[in-house]
Each structure stands twice: as structure tokens, then as C-alpha cells.
Structure 1
Amino acid sequence: MATTPHSPAVQLTEHALAYLHSAALRAAALLGVADHLADGPRTAEELATATGADAAHLRRALRLLATRDVFREDPDGTFHLTPAADALRSDVPSSMRDAVVMLTDEPFWRPAGQLADTVRAGRTVFEEIFGAPYFGHLERVPAAGAVFDTGMAGLAESENDPVAAAYDFPATGTVVDIGGGRGGLLRQVLLRNPGLTGILHDQETVLRHHTLDLPGLTGRWQTHSGDFFTTVPPGADVYLLKRILHDWHDDDCLRILRTCRTAMTRPGSRLLIVDAVLPQGNDAHPGKTMDILMMTSLNGRERDESAFRQLLGAAGLKPSRTIPTESTLSIVEAVAG
């Protein structure tokens, strides 16, 4: 029986081959194709010359991406930027190029290929593949660690200002960004709230590349190196945990949250968990995709409101409200219980 464009056979085949879209996207990002279209449309031959690629093969990869509105091909073979392709440029605000390279890098795609083994075992098989847990692997392989650091910073740039804008921060006081990476979220919070000071807490190797040294922030921030499993700066008014808890198993999350609870000595101190909050039902949500990535590589997970409430209660914290943002993330606010 012949198949139709929307038949189950075609649908399942497309799903089975979806990894080729990721592969084509990674190739375009690594070659810097979008950068070479910034001044206007170009043919595959022109792009191949500019990127050092084979013209025929490059066209085929870009043709596939154009089916998902990443680039557009004219009948004469000329390729254009689309809004999604423009975000692949390395020189635009909130560029996604580094994030795409990170999300399609070997430490994520190889464990995903063994998802069935993870589902059987009830845990990631990352260590069997790479010889160390995820973050241990990044420490042992500096090149992989650099891809992660730059990729996370790139991914966060599209989220930081919407998160900072969604919450009513106090007029004065101190904000601690725990595991805050290069400080993108803290930077936006301080820029939007001139009465606040901030502390960026992360590992020393990460803090060296912070982005807080701006004229408008002079004298309003400091860095603090440490391990959020054991200690964070005490006595702040607001603590931030952005894209941290989803990396970890519940037991590890409790260690982090209890460390935060111990540090929350100031009356009225608040903890803001910035993560995806999964909706119920069958509706699509980016967090449901990210949940599989967390499961296969890190033993982490994305959570719904009920799971956050359980974690917070076990850590001696009381959830007060959940605030949506103009990104895929929400803010789960908690106070000392």
C-alpha cells in the first residue's frame, strides 16, 4: 500500500531520522554559514568557497535545514537567512551558535544513542561510555569543558533578561547567583535593579570568564568561588538557582537546597529556582525534550510543580508561587519553612 505524506509510516520515518536535522544544524554552525550570509544571500558555491566546504554537499545539508525554516533556498539555488538562521550568526546579540554546538556535541549525542540502556538501567550510562560522570568528563577533557561553558552562556543569553524582567526584585539588598556561570543572569538583574548588589558564585575556572565588568555595574558585584553542595555566601536577600537543579538527581538537589536554606539567615530571604516547570498532558514543551537530555547524560530531570514542592519541603523550604517568564523557563519562589 502506498504511503501518504501524513501516514504513520512517513511520520515514524521522519521521527526516526530526526537526528539528521541535528547533524545538519551542527554542520552549519561549525562552518559558520550564517555569518557568511549576513551581507545578503549567496549560492551554495559561494558559501562553499567561503567556508572551505564542498558545494554540492553543503547545498544538500542546507536544503534539509530549509525544510524547517533554518535558511531559505530560492529556485535559483541562492540561500537566505531566516530568523532562526540569523540566530546562528556569531556576531548577533543572544547568538545561539555556541549553544547549538554544545547541544549537538559528543557528550550529549552519544548517550542519547543509548537511551534504551538508560531506560533499562534507570540511570545514565554516560560513565560507561566516557569513563567518568558528565561533569567529571568535562574536567578531564578541557576542550569539552570549554564547549559546555561557552554553549551554556550562549543558551542563557536569550533567557536572562526575560527572567530578570519577570520578577519583582527588592529595591535594595544582595542577590547571590549560585552556579551562575559567567554571570549573565546576575548582570541583567543588576542592570534592571540599580539598588542591588550581587555575588556570582561558581568554580574558580568558570569565574575567570565572567561578564560582570561593565561601567554601569562598577562596585556592585563580587565573585565567590566554591562548591554549592557544601556552602554558599550567607545572609543575602535573594538566591538564584538557574538551570542547576535539572542537572541533578533528587538526592543531590536536596544537598544543594539544604545548603541554600542554611545560608538564608536574613529575615524574608528568598530562593528563586529558575527552571522549566513541566505542564501536564500531551502538549509539547521544550522542557520535555530537555528532560531526556538530562536523563541520558546527567541523571538529572526536568520537574513539574509537584516535584518542586516535594523537594523544597524536604529541604526545609516553603514554595510560595510560580512565575512564568517570556522564555521557556519559570521562576519557582521559595522562603524558609
Structure 2
Amino acid sequence: MGYTYVAALRAATELGVADHLADGPREIGELAQATKTDKLKLYRILRLLATRGVFREEEGERFALTLPADFLRTDRPQSQRSAVLMLTDETFWRPIGELAKSVRGEFIFKHIFGMSFFEYWAQEGVPAEDFHRGMSAMSEVENQFLVRSYDFPKDATVVDVAGGLGGLLLRVLRENPTLHGILFDRQHVLDRNRLGELGDDKRWKLVAGDFFKSCPKGDIYLLKYIMHDWSDENDIRILRNIREAMAPGARVLIMDPVLPEGNTPHPGKEMDLLTMGIYEGGRERTEKEFHRLLAGADLRLNRIIDTGSYVSIVEAVAA
């Protein structure tokens, strides 16, 4: 019944409960009035969340913020509110309930929604910013682990492949003042980029395109949460285009979970089932599987960097 916790987390996030506790604990009746909800039902939701350390119940049916709950506030630095709403959206939630169809060979997301995951978010009338805002929020926390774990060479050109709003590239450029960056994505995504926050427009540029056709020339290629979206065949197409564009001595940095062998728990094994549900052919990979994937694009796995988070850096070079 673990999904009941996820449902409660989404409900409390949608209702903005954490924002109403920013100034201190409040009695459930006050919270219900502030959120325009039923007192008893709201209490039952928060009671469950409190068992996981998200909110804390105090004497007199009063609830207070905990550190995890504090990250649900809209005004908190590195707020995860948008990430929670994205990961509990029906586009993630519903396919997971039908994994048996995937095991039997069906593309679950298309079975439910009539199109692919990316086609869905590109539709008119669907707020695509909800997806990109959620990814950006999740990345704000992850990126600090990734960027501090890699020693970027001076004066290099860094290409963020399908980099979305540019949050990762922005952090790389901020912490490495000699670097220049290229944010490479579809034009409708680039239109909402964040790179202006750097305060130096001479150090970056936008390039619109399709990574299945070609990639810009660069010294360092960032692929965060890209490889796990696609099948081996499609990933090799992307990597071959990068291989053709790579400057001499260039590096490819794949930023995905690297699954441990055997029965070792790892968040990537949960993400692996999520990719099974929402992508056609998507998957997380072990070290051995990355070796095989890269070899298919004339690349060689050079090393795997433990970043201190569940996302590793797989560094690849020309074979």
C-alpha cells in the first residue's frame, strides 16, 4: 500500500500545507480553514505523512514542519514542490500501475495516453512548463553533487545535450569561469532557458536541433537523464552523432544512476521501473551495460565517478 503515502504527499503538496506552516506549528482546524479543506480528512493525510517524517504532529492536533516538509514550501531555496508534483503527475503514476503490459511487450504510456511521453508534453494546452519546472527543481539539488565531483578542463566548450532550461550548464559555468557553454535542445525549450542568470552572455549560446540528426562541436558533452530515456539502438544513434562532433580529446559525461549488481538496494532500481512505464525502451543500466552501449558508438568507458548521490558520472572517451 506504499502508493497511499505518495498520494498523501501529492495532496499535501497541491494544497500548499507547508507554506501555511512557515511561521510555526498550527492546529488542524486552522490549517483546514487556510487550505479550504475538510478538517478530519486533512488530519488523516497529515497523520500518515508524519509517520514518514514529512510534517510532525504535536499535542493538540497541531502540525509542524520537519526538514523534508520544509522542502515543499514554494519560497524555500531548492524547493522540491515542483519535483513532487511532476513525479506524482498522472503521466508518471498511471503507467506504473500497468507494468505487466510492458513485460508482455506493450508500450504502456502510448496505451494509456495515445502518444509518447514527449509528444504528450509537447501538445498545445498541456502545460509543458510543469514538466520542465519539475525537472529543474529536482536538478537544483542533484547538480551540486555532479558539478563538484568533476574537474572541468580550463577554456573548454561544454555542450549540454538536451539540457532543458539550462540549470546544469548554468551551474557548471558559474563554478568554472574559464568555460564556455552551448545549450542544445529543441527551440521551444530553449525559449525558456535560464542562462541569462549567469550575467555574462558572451560565455554561452543556444543551438536548436535534434540529437538524432547531429550535435554541436565541443570538448565536454553533458548527458543528464538522456540515455535512460531511450533504447540501446536510439542511444547509440545519439552517441554516434556526438562521436562525430567531438573535438580531439573530448569527453562525454553521462549522468545517470549506475545500477549495482545483485540484491543491493539503489534508487536507480526504482527509477528503472519508472522509465519502463513512461518511455519506449527506456532503462537504467549497470556498468557492464554502459560498456556495451558505448562500444556501439566507438566510445570507451574511461571511469565511473561516484558523486555522493544516486546519480553517477560515466565518463567516456573516443575508443
311, 314, 317: which one aligns with 1:332: 314
Aligned-partner residue type, residue 226 of structure 1: G
After alignment, is 209-218 or 82-91 more displaced? 209-218
1:213 partnered with 2:196: yes
> With structure 1 as the length reference, what TM-score do the two structures score?
0.92
Aligned-partner residue type, residue 313 of structure 1: A
1:237 aligns to what SS in structure 2? strand
Please name the residue that 1:143 is paired with: 126
Please name the residue that 1:287 is paired with: 268
Aligned-partner residue type, residue 42 of structure 2: L
Please name the residue that 2:63 is paired with: 79
Give the CA deviation at 1:283.
2.2
Give the CA deviation at 1:218.
3.5
1:46 partnered with 2:53: no
- Percent of aligned pairs with the same amino acid: 53
Please name the residue that 1:203 is paired with: 186
Cα distance in 2, alignment partners of residues 136 and 218 from structure 1: 31
248, 253, 258: which one aligns with 1:277: 258
Query: Is the contact between residue 79 and residue 137 of structure 2 (CA under 8 Å) also seen in structure 1?
Result: yes
264, 288, 299: which one aligns with 1:306: 288
Query: Is the contact between residue 191 and residue 217 of structure 1 (CA under 8 Å) also seen in structure 2?
Result: no
Give the CA deviation at 1:215.
4.9
Cα distance in 2, alignment partners of residues 215 and 103 from structure 1: 28
Please name the residue that 1:14 is paired with: none
Please name the residue that 1:227 is paired with: 210
Aligned-partner residue type, residue 206 of structure 1: V
Query: Is the contact between residue 198 and residue 222 of structure 1 (CA under 8 Å) also seen in structure 2?
Result: yes
1:322 partnered with 2:308: no
Give the CA deviation at 1:120.
2.0
Please name the residue that 2:74 is paired with: 90
Give the CA deviation at 1:118.
1.3
Aligned-partner residue type, residue 147 of structure 1: D
Query: Is the contact between residue 190 and residue 217 of structure 1 (CA under 8 Å) also seen in structure 2?
Result: no
Please name the residue that 2:149 is paired with: 166
Please name the residue that 2:174 is paired with: 191
Query: Is the contact between residue 72 and residue 80 of structure 2 (CA under 8 Å) also seen in structure 1?
Result: yes
Cα distance in 1, alignment partners of residues 116 and 201 from structure 2: 38
Please name the residue that 1:245 is paired with: 227
2:316 aligns to what SS in structure 1? strand
Please name the residue that 1:66 is paired with: 50
Cα distance in 1, alignment partners of residues 132 and 258 from structure 2: 24
2:59 aligns to what SS in structure 1? coil
After alignment, is 216-225 or 313-322 more displaced? 216-225
Query: Any idea what the Cα deviations from partners look like across 1:161-217, whole Å, max 9, x if unmatched?
Result: 210110010011210000111111101111111000101111111112211112543
Cα distance in 2, alignment partners of residues 134 and 205 from structure 1: 16
Aligned-partner residue type, residue 105 of structure 1: D
Aligned-partner residue type, residue 56 of structure 1: L
- The structure 1 segments of at least 4 consecutive aligned residues displaced by more than 4 Å after TM superposition are none
Cα distance in 2, alignment partners of residues 241 and 62 from structure 1: 38
Please name the residue that 1:178 is paired with: 161
Query: Is the contact between residue 95 and residue 154 of structure 1 (CA under 8 Å) also seen in structure 2?
Result: yes
Aligned-partner residue type, residue 302 of structure 1: E
Cα distance in 2, alignment partners of residues 25 and 336 from structure 1: 45
Cα distance in 2, alignment partners of residues 240 and 43 from structure 1: 47
Cα distance in 2, alignment partners of residues 162 and 168 from structure 1: 12
Aligned-partner residue type, residue 14 of structure 2: L
236, 241, 263: which one aligns with 1:259: 241
Aligned-partner residue type, residue 249 of structure 2: G
Cα distance in 2, alignment partners of residues 143 and 270 from structure 1: 36
99, 102, 113: which one aligns with 2:86: 102
Query: Any idea what the Cα deviations from partners look like across 1:127-176, whole Å, max 9, x if unmatched?
Result: 11111111111122542523211111111111112101100100112100
2:195 aligns to what SS in structure 1? coil
Cα distance in 2, alignment partners of residues 60 and 107 from structure 1: 26
Cα distance in 1, alignment partners of residues 198 and 152 from structure 2: 22
Cα distance in 2, alignment partners of residues 30 and 182 from structure 1: 23
Please name the residue that 2:115 is paired with: 132
Please name the residue that 1:18 is paired with: 2
Aligned-residue RMSD, C-alpha: 1.2
Cα distance in 2, alignment partners of residues 215 and 152 from structure 1: 20
For structure 1, the 5+ residue unaligned runs are 1-16
> With structure 2 as the length reference, what TM-score do the two structures score?
0.97
C-alpha distance 144-119 of structure 1, shift in aligned 2 (>3 A)? farther
For structure 2, the 5+ residue unaligned runs are none
